[in-house]
Amino acid sequence: MSPVGPRGEAELPFFVYGTLRPGEHNHDLFLRGRTRSEEPGRMRGLALYAGPGYPYAVDEPGGAVCGEIVTARPEAYEQLLEELDELEEYVPGDARSLYERVARDAVRADGVTVVRAWVYVAGPAVAARLRSGGKLIEDGDWRGDGGGGGGDGSAGGAG
């Protein structure tokens, strides 16, 4: 069982799929030196859509997204969680949030080991727009130019 932080939420790893991935702009800004581990993984039940400099994950049965499972250093966890929520424009309980942070199962690169992790998925209004006219990233694997954008979609803006 995962420890629980001051907000009463489990201290889970993060599944990142956009500008927070190693080699991308927001990785260095937010994660460098603050993680205990970073390992490749996949998250099923999501589709990936291109955004303005970053991707969005959207609930989609049968879909899968490639990314990294990032475990924060315990002493950095709470501040990192707050900063990522801000980056992804996520406000708990606010339907206008760009992204929602939800706990989902990710699968490690071995294809077997399942890890529960936070992931930022597109908020309801954004998801509806993307489903009706967004650009689907067929293979579920986004790689930017390293320049990054605003939020990321992990996690929305950073994901």
pLDDT in tens, 17-56: 999 999 999 999 999 999 999 999 999 999 999 988 899 9
* Residue with token string 């603050």: 34
How many CB atoms sit inside 10 A of residue 30's CB?
20
User: Exposed/middle/buried for 78, CB within 10 Å: 0-12, 13-18, 19+?
Assistant: middle
Structure tokens, 130: 């993307």
- Cα angle 66, 27, 69 (rounded to 5 degrees) comes to 40
pTM value is 0.86
